[in-house]
Amino acid sequence: MFRNQYDTDVTTWSPAGRLFQVEYAMEAVKQGSAAIGLRSKTHVVLACVNKANSELSSHQKKIFKVDDHIGVAIAGLTADGRVLSRYMRSECINHSFNYESPLPVGRLVVQLADKAQVCTQRSWKRPFGVGLLVGGLDESGAHLYYNCPSGNYFEYQAFAIGSRSQAAKTYLERRFENFTDSSREDLIRDALIATRETLQGEKLRSSICTISVLGVGEPFHILDQETVQKLIDTFELVAEEEGPNAEPDADAGEGVAPDQGDVPDQSAAADQGVAPMDL
């Protein structure tokens, strides 16, 4: 009822002790198209649904390489996300330059969170309208963090943000206990299935989703459309036979493994020919 009186600027508290501008910023994240992240002990997979303004335009870039060992998927105001990605890249480069070692992910997300907090305590600024799923690898293993516009950050085994992300979260909640020991291929498959859940019936094609992988011995890179389409075809076939809610693991394991054994090699070879920060 009193929301409208206390939501004009971010430096005004409501009587209930809330900052409405910050909460509105988090709403902006929910409006963006979905982004999903999951991690195992050794790999992190980030996936997102590509949203294009119109049929004629290209889709917005939502996954950014920050460094060889860190990638970020965003949801919300992609312009804010771009700016924050540039900041993250700059921090990684500076750290590498000064310390000759990769910036630990946990440090980066704290810096990011502090940057977001500043915008919640200045009357001439507004909070960032973007949620970031930061996936990275450092000496303590693979990590996935979610950075809020509020300046909070949390570590996750798997998470989804953006519109219709609840469907993906439901799927991930069912399966997340297995993720720690998942293989790279299973992790990617789970990411694709989670992405499909957010599409609510729309057919999953490589043109509407983007998948990125990083892990031990594998620098961050975005999988190219061909590879993604092959992966979709491999598991979609299985899913049609088994049904979307069944556990495809047992039977699919034997059928899927030989195909997917070939695909990672091809994707590795194909990726080496492409520019480092490829789409």
Partner 1 sequence: MAGTGEIRSCSDGGLCKSAGKRLTTEFLSCIKCQVKLTKQQANWSPYDNGGSCVAVAGADYCVVAADTRMSSGYNILTRDYSKICKLADKCVMASSGFQADVKALQKLLAARHLIYQHQHNKQMSCPAMAQLLSNTLYYKRFFPYYSFNVLGGLDSEGKGCVFTYDAVGSYEKVGYSSQGSGSTLIMPFLDNQLKSPSPLLLPALDAVTPLSESEAVDLVKTVFASATERDIYTGDKLEIVIINAEGIRREYMELRKD
Q: Site for partner 1 (CB under 8 A): which residue of 89, 164, 175, 184?
A: 89
DSSP string, 6-69: S-SSTT---TTS--HHHHHHHHHHHHSPPEEEEE-SSEEEEEEE--BSSTTSPBPP-EEEEETT
For residue 164, the minimal CB distance to partner 1 (Å) is 30
Nearer to partner 1, 22 or 132 (CB): 132
**Token pair belonging to 136:** 């990275």
Q: Which is nearer to partner 1, 68 or 242 (CB)?
A: 68
Asked if 97 touches partner 1 (CB under 8 A), the answer is yes
Separation of alpha carbons 245 and 171, rounded Å: 9
Choose the stretch contacting partner 1; rule: CB under 8 A; options: 24-32, 91-99, 125-133, 174-182. 91-99
Residue 268 within binding range of partner 1, rule CB under 8 A: no
DSSP code of residue 74 = E
Q: According to the binding rule CB under 8 A, does residue 65 interact with partner 1? A: yes
CB of 96 to partner 1, least distance (A): 7
* C-alpha–C-alpha distance, residues 45 and 43, integer Å: 7
Least distance between partner 1 and beta carbon 270 (Å):
16
Least Cα distance to 114 among 154, 72, 153, 78 occurs for 153
What's the token pair of residue 179? Answer: 């993720």
CB of 277 to partner 1, least distance (A): 5
Nearer to partner 1, 216 or 277 (CB): 277
| Residue 52 touching partner 1 (CB under 8 A) | no
Q: Is 26 exposed, middle or buried (CB count within 10 Å of its CB: 0-12, 13-18, 19+)? A: middle
96 lines the binding site for partner 1 (CB under 8 A): yes
CB of 94 to partner 1, least distance (A): 8
Binding segment for partner 1 among 29-37, 47-55, 220-228, 271-279 (CB under 8 A)?
Answer: 271-279
**6-22: b or e for each residue (b if 16 or more CB lie within 10 Å)?**
bbeebeeeeeeeebbbb
Whole-angstrom distance, CA of residue 73 vs CA of residue 217: 21
Which residues lie near partner 1 (CB under 8 A)?
65, 86, 89-90, 93-94, 96-97, 275-279
